[in-house]
């Protein structure tokens, strides 16, 4: 658990030296706006999350051999990501982001299943909260490193992006040399049910449907940076805003995971989604840097409260022999919702302004929270 958390820290350090600069690169260098950003992020996430179902399933069929998928996925992402530095158009950025997210697609479901295999019942919330906390801590360090380079060194975005190769390389070596998995269990493919939606248990299907509705209305986080740019925040302040968002996530993730183990997943998930609806609804009317900062910090509460509980609930509801597949469905459904969410909300922003776009997101989140409370029935782990 600790090694995977540290790998996530280094990988996110590298990633967050790049991702928060993409909206600025598009707006100031490549002359592209919200619609292009929404298409890039939505397409990249969708390709990634579609692949997660395949990689999760394959890791189950290989007798729970997860590590090869994890190592190759981290390697591919960290080779591709620094190439954003030499992009000449938003189409090139799209291609690189898709390649980066293919790596994420290969590793994410097997990594979550690898962690699920290693932890004891009753500790899943804490384990996923801990890894998410280190993941977000890496994001904080990445954004601060980028801000420091811009402030003290250069305002050339390509230099900052290229420097992300350093922590990315450390992540790849650490996952290759430091992560261990239990011996393969020799599970044969015919022992698993067919890969069909109907083969999933009814409780996890209901959960995933409601989760997909929530994801359908969730704005890409990079939209916050684009909004900050519109309000007038400079590059350094935008990077500090991004760091603060992830610091709020990191500060709450492990504690919220412990609460999810103690009091159940349900209060954390519903509460987190409700906080998201309130934060995005407030950000719809944010016109000052102070309002944007407050809204972003409150948004971090949603992530910290719900992320660990969401993943722990997947583990709770899935058979031990199908955890890779279950996490694949989890990530894939989020991905299927990502492209219409990014493109639609980006289009609404372009045509009608930021307020309607953010209010639509808030409304869908509120409906999803109510749907979870109504249709996802409590079990001992849920509260």
Which domains does the chain possess?
Answer: 2-181+201-375 (1.20.1250.20)
Specify whether the CB–CB gap between 76 and 103 falls below 8 A.
Answer: yes
Instruction: Name 119's Cβ contacts closer than 8 Å, sequence gap at least 6.
Output: 1, 127
pLDDT digits (tens, 9 = 90+) for 95-110: 999 999 999 999 988 9
Dmax (CA) for the chain in angstroms is 59
The tokens for 288 are 């000052």
pLDDT digits (tens, 9 = 90+) for 25-73: 887 777 777 778 878 877 887 788 789 889 988 888 876 678 889 999 9
SS3 291: helix
The tokens for 323 are 């955890």
Q: Which of 213, 8, 250 lies closest to 107, judged by CA?
A: 8
Instruction: Name 295's Cβ contacts closer than 8 Å, sequence gap at least 6.
Output: 279, 280, 282, 283, 286
pLDDT digits (tens, 9 = 90+) for 229-261: 899 998 889 889 988 998 999 898 888 888 888
The pLDDT value recorded for residue 88 is 83
Using only the alpha carbons of the chain, give its radius of gyration. 20
pLDDT tier for residue 378 given thresholds of 50, 70 and 90: low
């Amino acid at each position: 658990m600790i090694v995977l958390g540290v790998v996530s820290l280094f990988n996110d350090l590298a990633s967050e030296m790049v991702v928060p600069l993409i909206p600025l690169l598009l707006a100031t260098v490549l002359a592209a706006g919200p619609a292009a950003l929404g298409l890039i992020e939505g397409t990249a996430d969708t390709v990634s999350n579609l692949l997660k179902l395949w990689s999760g399933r394959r890791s189950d069929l290989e007798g729970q051999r997860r590590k090869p998928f994890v190592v190759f996925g981290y390697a591919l992402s960290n080779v591709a990501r620094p190439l954003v530095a030499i992009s000449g158009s938003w189409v090139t950025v799209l291609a690189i982001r898709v390649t980066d997210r293919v790596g994420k697609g290969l590793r994410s479901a097997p990594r979550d299943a690898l962690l699920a295999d290693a932890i004891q019942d009753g500790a899943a919330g804490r384990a996923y909260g801990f890894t998410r906390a280190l993941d977000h801590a890496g994001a904080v360090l990445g954004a601060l490193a980028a801000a420091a380079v811009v402030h003290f060194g250069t305002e050339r975005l390509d230099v900052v992006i290229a420097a992300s190769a350093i922590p990315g390389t450390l992540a790849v070596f650490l996952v290759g040399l430091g992560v261990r998995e239990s011996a393969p269990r020799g599970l044969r493919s015919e022992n698993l049910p067919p890969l069909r939606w109907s083969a999933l248990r009814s409780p996890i299907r209901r959960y995933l449907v409601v989760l997909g509705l929530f994801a359908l209305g969730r704005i890409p986080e990079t939209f916050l940076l684009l909004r900050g740019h519109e309000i007038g925040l400079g590059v350094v302040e935008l990077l500090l805003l991004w760091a603060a968002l992830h610091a709020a996530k990191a500060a709450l993730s492990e504690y919220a995971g412990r609460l999810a183990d103690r009091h159940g997943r349900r209060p954390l998930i519903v509460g987190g989604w409700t906080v998201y609806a309130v934060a995005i609804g407030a950000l719809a009317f944010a016109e000052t840097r102070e309002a944007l900062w407050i809204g972003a910090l409150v948004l971090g509460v949603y992530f910290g409260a719900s992320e660990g509980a969401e993943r722990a609930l997947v583990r709770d509801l899935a058979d031990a022999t199908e955890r890779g597949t279950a996490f694949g469905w989890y990530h894939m459904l989020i991905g299927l919702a990502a492209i219409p969410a990014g493109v639609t909300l980006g289009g609404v922003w372009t045509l009608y302004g930021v307020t309607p776009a953010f209010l639509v997101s808030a409304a869908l989140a509120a409906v999803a929270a109510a749907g979870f409370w109504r249709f996802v029935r409590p079990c001992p782990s849920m509260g």
